[in-house]
A and B are shown apart, each in its own frame.
Chain A
Amino acid sequence: MLFGTKQKTLLAGAAAMLLAGAVQQSAAEEPHYKVFLDMSYSGNIWQAAAANGIKALAATPPYDKEVEFKTIISGTDVQRQISDIQSMVAAGANAILIYPLSPTALNRVIRQACAQHVLVFTYDSTVTEPCAYNVSNITARYGANSAQWMVNQLGGKGELVINHGVAGTAVTKTYDAQALHIFSRYPGIKIVGEFYGNWNDATSQEGVSKILAAHPNLDAIWTVDGTYGSLQAVMKNRPDRLVTIAGQSNNGYRLMIADPKLQAKGLRGLSSSAGPAVGPYAFKVMMEVLTGQLKPTQHNIEYPLPWVPYTDVKLCTGDRFVGGCNTFPEGKVPPLFIDTSLNGDLLPELSLTAVQEGKPTPGARIQKLPEIHYAENLPGINCENCTAPPDAMEPNLVKPIPVPK
């Protein structure tokens, strides 16, 4: 009896497998791609917004039918990410989109993947392995541009705090070097304090509060992220005299820098830095390459640097960035929502719910990308044994003011 049941199960299993095979064969007539997203960690607004945007695009026609899409979270352990990439290759991936945990440590496994003809893309963070495609704005000189913007706002003099970000990362090293290069050109700019805010609002708020206690005449704060927290520290401790500040693109921060009442107290803000929309943008580029619509001649592709000074903040009425608007009214999204999760020009398929829930926008269809822009070489960031352009440390979005006498 027992044997009988077992045999029946086996038979049923075999039949099911045959059936599955038949179904797979009929599905194979349409183009069909196996695509993986390997993200680092979740539970962080930036990472979640980027992953949601990618998921929403993967479920937007025609990719909803053509792409078998799967997300893997590798956490913060690079060994785990190596292991997951190996598994994706073994599972027959056609393309892998990675948030790389290290610019160099994945190179070997990425080479293995390329050797198996798997298309490898990274978003936001980059790798130096030449067979991978990097899509990022790390080459867009945020450090130089934001520092120069602040110097111009300050008239070339003032007391400044540097909120470094995360130690030991390529982003921190690159942006810090650019910003310090610009600040050091103006003798009137005095750096009175610096700390590692870890791109975190709570850590940044604490760090700025401490420095503010020792330097009550602080004029400016330069950040890469943790901007909202940095500004909160000034609002709490010195509400009548605010600062010039550059950094991220949280909705609450954009609303604050656009507020005339706060501007009257001296707030001059720039909203820029890396936006989560680079993730979905990288996905679109990768899919165009995978489907043969796009044949890039270089592997480093630049995502345009978000750039919204306080004078350019424009409120949206709906839940998409259309007509040049770039900020949601208060109450529509949480203050820490990152406005650069969306991009009206490059990613018209995405709406607010898409990046908040990872669901496709109803009625949307994937649009063809405008022309892509190649990135500059940055040794140790997106290439090895290469040279950066001679003006790599100089601003290219802002015109420098002369050094005050």
Chain B
Amino acid sequence: MKIAVKIGRALGGGAPFATVVCLVMYAVYAARAPSALSIFGITNVLNDAVVLAIGSAGLTLVILAGEFDLSGVGVIAIANVLVATTSGASGFGALGSLALVLAIGLLVGTVNGVLVAFFQLQSLAATIGTMIACEGVALLILPAPGGEVSDKIATGLTGDLAGVIPVALLILGGFAAAWFVFKRTSLGVAIYATGADAQAARLSGIDLRRTRLAAFMLAGLCYAFAGYMLSAETGTGDPRVSSALLLFMYAAVAIGGTSLSGGKGGVFGSLVGAGILTVLQKMLFALGVAEFYTNIFNGIVMIFALLFGNIVSSLAGPLRRQVAK
């Protein structure tokens, strides 16, 4: 029992349940569509999931710190059009454009963080502002879909290493590993503490403003990288292509077991949450669910994932206290 709880804790909140759901759904999908088990099929699913996963990972950090952030889709849009306009032969190349978009992400994250942590603006309102501004900037950079993403990015990040290991898997694995290290650092602990109970955190010596600022900055970096991956997957720029992601990012975070009121959950769960939303679409297709029913099932599965996640964590709660004794 002790070990199970430990594993559960290591994965963070509702994540174990979400992982099981994701694997079961993938099994159903694979049973109906055998290509799901080929390297090609697996790579496709991972590529479909990776943008949402990384975007939701960034969002999770802000939500854990007890704030909201809507600017993600704006940063993704800017990153996408920048990669499409600067990564080509006449631009800065693959690494140069990566550095550029990360810098932009960091900048937008810093603006968000300063507005929320230092000027005490409501995060929801402040980040609506930055989101709209970012989408405007994206339209200025690229007024209509177009541009070209360097082949190094487009084929390099969406293929397989040695034909066996999907690059997207390495990236997602890297994010998960970084998270398990990060959550134990003093900043990681401070983010949890700030989101769980800001007053208690302040009394125990945590600098709330610095913590919130750091959460927004890290989130900005994640959004920028998500935009970079979106460019790799689509091979071009489109200033409007990311706007539909916003709700899915929040859905991925919630399904992954992170409490939208802060302090509970984790990035790993959001990565899995993004996986669930991606595999769900594949599974419903494989089951032959067509048209409007897809949306209905999407909604129902999301509600069930949330419900069961809640039940699992409320069952695990008393157990954990027992172990703690």
**Assembly CA distance A162 to B240 (angstroms):** 21
Over the window 109-137 of chain B, the binary record of Cβ atoms lying under 8 Å from chain A Cβ atoms (1 yes, 0 no) is: 00000000000000000000000000000
Chain A facing B: main interface SS? mixed
Q: Is B278 an interface residue (CB 8 A)?
A: yes
B238 near A75 with CB under 8 A, answer no
Since A71-B290, A79-B233 are in contact, a sample of 7 more A-B pairs with Cβ atoms closer than 8 Å, ordered by chain A residue number, is: A72-B291, A78-B244, A90-B35, A102-B236, A102-B238, A168-B144, A169-B145
**Looking at the complex, which one of B139, B235, B282 makes contact with A108 (CB distance below 8 Å)?**
B235
A72 near B290 with CB under 8 A, answer yes
B233 near A82 with CB under 8 A, answer yes
Q: Is A80 an interface residue (CB 8 A)?
A: yes
**Which chain A residues in 57-83 approach chain B with CB under 8 Å?**
70-73, 75-80, 82-83
Over the window 36-76 of chain A, the binary record of Cβ atoms lying under 8 Å from chain B Cβ atoms (1 yes, 0 no) is: 00000010000000000000000000000000001111011
**Assembly CA distance A91 to B44 (angstroms):** 14
A80 near B281 with CB under 8 A, answer yes
Q: Is B314 an interface residue (CB 8 A)?
A: no
Residue of B nearest to A55 (CB): B291
Q: B253 → chain A, closest Cβ, in Å?
A: 16
Q: A96 → chain B, closest Cβ, in Å?
A: 13
Q: 24 A-B residue contacts at CB 8 Å? A: A42-B291, A42-B292, A73-B291, A75-B295, A78-B238, A79-B48, A80-B281, A83-B278, A86-B44, A87-B281, A90-B41, A102-B234, A103-B145, A104-B234, A104-B237, A105-B241, A108-B233, A168-B138, A168-B143, A168-B145, A169-B144, A170-B144, A172-B144, A380-B146
**Assembly CA distance A24 to B55 (angstroms):** 45
Q: B290 → chain A, closest Cβ, in Å?
A: 6
- Enumerate chain A residues within 8 angstroms of B278, measured Cβ to Cβ: 83
Residue among A82, A90, A102, A170 facing the most chain B CB atoms (10 A cut-off): A90
List 3 tightest A-B contacts by C-beta distance, closest first: A104-B236, A105-B234, A77-B244
B33 near A173 with CB under 8 A, answer no
Q: Is B175 an interface residue (CB 8 A)?
A: no
- Enumerate chain B residues within 8 angstroms of A91, measured Cβ to Cβ: 33, 285-286
**Assembly CA distance A172 to B139 (angstroms):** 13
A73 near B236 with CB under 8 A, answer no
**Assembly CA distance A172 to B145 (angstroms):** 11
Q: A113 → chain B, closest Cβ, in Å?
A: 12
**Assembly CA distance A403 to B73 (angstroms):** 46
**Assembly CA distance A78 to B236 (angstroms):** 12
- Enumerate chain A residues within 8 angstroms of B294, measured Cβ to Cβ: 72-73
A87 near B145 with CB under 8 A, answer no
**Assembly CA distance A261 to B33 (angstroms):** 62
Q: Is B239 an interface residue (CB 8 A)?
A: yes
Over the window 149-175 of chain A, the binary record of Cβ atoms lying under 8 Å from chain B Cβ atoms (1 yes, 0 no) is: 000000000000000001111101100
**Which chain B residues in 287-302 approach chain A with CB under 8 Å?**
288, 290-292, 294-295
Q: Is B245 an interface residue (CB 8 A)?
A: yes
Q: Is A206 an interface residue (CB 8 A)?
A: no
Q: Is A107 an interface residue (CB 8 A)?
A: yes
Q: B96 → chain A, closest Cβ, in Å?
A: 22
- Enumerate chain A residues within 8 angstroms of B295, measured Cβ to Cβ: 73, 75
**Assembly CA distance A78 to B51 (angstroms):** 12
Q: Is B260 an interface residue (CB 8 A)?
A: no
Over the window 81-115 of chain A, the binary record of Cβ atoms lying under 8 Å from chain B Cβ atoms (1 yes, 0 no) is: 01110111011000000000111111110000000
Q: Is B193 an interface residue (CB 8 A)?
A: no
Size bracket of the B interface: 35 or more
Q: A97 → chain B, closest Cβ, in Å?
A: 14
Residue of B nearest to A104 (CB): B236
- Enumerate chain A residues within 8 angstroms of B233, measured Cβ to Cβ: 79, 82, 108
A79 touching B144 in the complex, CB below 8 Å, given contacts A104-B235, A105-B234, A107-B236: no
**Assembly CA distance A80 to B158 (angstroms):** 16
**Looking at the complex, which one of B146, B234, B288, B292 makes contact with A78 (CB distance below 8 Å)?**
B234
- Enumerate chain A residues within 8 angstroms of B143, measured Cβ to Cβ: 168, 173
Q: Is B179 an interface residue (CB 8 A)?
A: no
B282 near A87 with CB under 8 A, answer yes
**Which chain B residues in 32-83 approach chain A with CB under 8 Å?**
33, 35-36, 41, 44-45, 48, 51-52
Q: B161 → chain A, closest Cβ, in Å?
A: 19
Residue of B nearest to A86 (CB): B44
A87 near B286 with CB under 8 A, answer yes
**Assembly CA distance A77 to B247 (angstroms):** 10
A108 touching B48 in the complex, CB below 8 Å, given contacts A72-B285, A72-B294, A91-B285: no
A78 near B281 with CB under 8 A, answer no
A84 near B237 with CB under 8 A, answer no
- Enumerate chain A residues within 8 angstroms of B144, measured Cβ to Cβ: 168-170, 172-173, 380
A76 near B244 with CB under 8 A, answer yes
B282 near A83 with CB under 8 A, answer yes
- Enumerate chain A residues within 8 angstroms of B22, measured Cβ to Cβ: none
B154 near A104 with CB under 8 A, answer no
Q: Is B248 an interface residue (CB 8 A)?
A: yes
Q: B239 → chain A, closest Cβ, in Å?
A: 4
- Enumerate chain B residues within 8 angstroms of A169, measured Cβ to Cβ: 144-145, 240
**Assembly CA distance A248 to B134 (angstroms):** 32
**Assembly CA distance A86 to B45 (angstroms):** 9
**Assembly CA distance A71 to B145 (angstroms):** 26
**Assembly CA distance A292 to B248 (angstroms):** 42
Residue of B nearest to A51 (CB): B291
**Assembly CA distance A80 to B51 (angstroms):** 12
Residue among A78, A79, A173 facing the most chain B CB atoms (10 A cut-off): A79
Residue of A nearest to B277 (CB): A80
Over the window 244-286 of chain A, the binary record of Cβ atoms lying under 8 Å from chain B Cβ atoms (1 yes, 0 no) is: 0000000000000000000000000000000000000000000
**Assembly CA distance A105 to B158 (angstroms):** 14
Residue of A nearest to B242 (CB): A78
- Enumerate chain B residues within 8 angstroms of A108, measured Cβ to Cβ: 154, 158, 233-235
**Assembly CA distance A17 to B165 (angstroms):** 35
**Assembly CA distance A77 to B240 (angstroms):** 10
Residue among B44, B147, B286, B292 facing the most chain A CB atoms (10 A cut-off): B44
**Looking at the complex, which one of B52, B238, B241, B285 makes contact with A87 (CB distance below 8 Å)?**
B285
**Assembly CA distance A83 to B279 (angstroms):** 9
